[in-house]
C-alpha cells in the first residue's frame, strides 16, 4: 500500500524544512511543490496536485515571504508581488487542494502562518496584509469546505531564530526577540512538528476552522513585572 502523502507548498522557512523531514520520519510520503510550479498559477498548481491526489491527506501552506516596505516606498509592482505571494497563492492552494479533499470527503489544509497575521511588523504592511488575508481565508474555507469533510486550520507561529530580520525604526518587535517570549528564549528547531503531526490526523477535527495561536505566548506577553516604591511596571532584561 502506498504511503499517505503530505505536501508542503513552500520550503523557504526552516520550520517548513523541519516539518518535511519530520513527516518523512513518521512514514508519510512528504514532498514540496517544485520551484517551477508557481503557487499563484491555479492551472499549474492544479496540474501538479492532480498527479498526487490519490493518496494525499494534507497540505501545509507557510506564510508568504517577508516584504519590508513603508507606505511611501510601496508601488504597484511591489503591491502586486506581495498580493501574488500572499493572498492569491493562499487562495489557489485552498481552491486546488480543497477541491481534491472535497471529492475525498477527507483531508486537511493547514496554514502555517505568522504572528504578523495579528501583530504589525512595522514598515511591513504588505507582508502583514498577506498574513491577515490568509487568516480570514482560512475561516472562509472552513465555511465552504468544512461540510464536505475538509479540515482547515490556521496556525499562528512566533518568530524563530532563522526568520528574516524584520527590524524597523517604528516597531521594537525584532529587538531582543528572545525576551519577548515568557520562557525568555526562542523556540527550538522543530517545535511545531508535533502539533502539525496531530493536525494532519482526523483526531484534530474538533479544532477545525480554528485560529491556533502557537507562538509560545509571544503575542500575549508584555514582560516581567517588578514593584518599585509600591508601583508595578513591566521591564525587559
Any idea where the domains of the chain sit in the sequence? 5-235
Q: What is the mean pLDDT of the chain?
A: 93
pTM for this entry = 0.93
> Could you report the per-residue pLDDT of 113-135, keeping only the tens digit for each?
999 999 999 999 999 999 999 99
Task: Tell me the average pLDDT across 14-26.
Answer: 97
> Could you report the per-residue pLDDT of 29-39, keeping only the tens digit for each?
999 999 999 99
At residue 222 the predicted structure's pLDDT band, cuts being 50, 70 and 90, is confident
Q: CB within 8 A of 187, min separation 6: which ones?
A: 158, 160, 181, 216
What is the Cα–Cα distance from 155 to 135, expressed in whole angstroms? 9
Does the pLDDT of residue 1 top 80, yes or no?
no
Do you know the residue count of the chain?
237
> Helix-strand-coil percent breakdown of the chain, rounded to 5?
40, 20, 40
User: What ranges in the chain are assigned the alpha helix state H?
Assistant: 14-25, 42-50, 76-83, 89-104, 125-145, 193-199
Q: What is the pLDDT of residue 235?
A: 54
What is the Cα–Cα distance from 166 to 74, expressed in whole angstroms? 16
Task: Tell me the average pLDDT across 2-18.
Answer: 95
C-alpha cell at 83: 498580493
- In CATH, the number for domain 5-235 is 3.40.50.720
Query: Is the separation of the CB atoms in 42 and 84 below 8 Å?
Result: no
What is the Cα–Cα distance from 110 to 102, expressed in whole angstroms? 15
Q: What is the pLDDT of residue 226?
A: 59
What is the Cα–Cα distance from 148 to 163, expressed in whole angstroms? 36
What is the Cα–Cα distance from 214 to 191, expressed in whole angstroms? 10
What is the Cα–Cα distance from 85 to 41, expressed in whole angstroms? 11
Query: Is the separation of the CB atoms in 106 and 149 below 8 Å?
Result: yes
Amino acid at each position: 500500500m502506498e504511503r499517505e502523502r503530505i505536501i508542503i507548498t513552500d520550503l523557504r522557512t526552516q520550520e517548513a524544512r523541519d516539518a518535511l523531514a519530520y513527516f518523512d520520519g513518521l512514514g508519510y510520503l512528504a514532498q514540496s511543490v517544485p520551484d517551477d510550479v508557481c503557487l499563484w498559477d491555479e492551472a499549474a498548481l492544479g496540474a501538479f496536485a492532480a498527479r498526487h491526489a490519490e493518496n494525499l491527506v494534507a497540505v501545509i501552506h507557510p506564510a508568504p515571504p517577508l516584504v519590508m516596505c513603508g507606505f511611501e516606498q510601496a508601488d504597484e509592482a511591489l503591491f502586486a508581488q506581495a498580493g501574488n505571494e500572499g493572498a492569491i497563492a493562499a487562495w489557489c492552494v485552498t481552491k486546488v487542494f480543497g477541491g481534491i479533499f472535497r471529492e475525498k470527503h477527507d483531508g486537511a489544509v493547514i496554514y502555517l502562518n505568522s504572528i504578523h497575521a495579528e501583530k504589525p511588523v512595522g514598515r511591513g504592511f504588505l507582508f502583514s496584509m498577506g498574513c491577515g488575508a490568509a487568516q480570514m481565508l482560512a475561516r472562509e474555507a472552513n465555511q465552504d469546505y468544512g461540510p464536505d469533510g475538509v479540515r482547515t486550520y490556521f496556525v499562528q507561529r512566533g518568530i524563530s531564530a532563522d526568520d528574516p530580520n524584520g527590524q524597523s525604526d517604528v516597531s521594537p518587535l525584532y529587538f531582543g526577540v528572545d525576551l519577548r517570549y515568557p520562557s525568555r528564549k526562542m523556540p527550538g528547531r522543530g517545535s511545531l512538528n508535533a502539533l502539525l503531526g496531530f493536525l494532519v490526523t482526523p483526531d484534530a477535527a474538533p479544532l477545525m476552522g480554528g485560529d491556533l495561536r502557537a507562538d509560545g505566548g509571544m503575542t500575549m506577553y508584555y514582560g516581567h513585572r517588578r514593584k518599585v516604591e509600591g508601583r508595578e511596571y513591566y521591564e525587559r532584561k
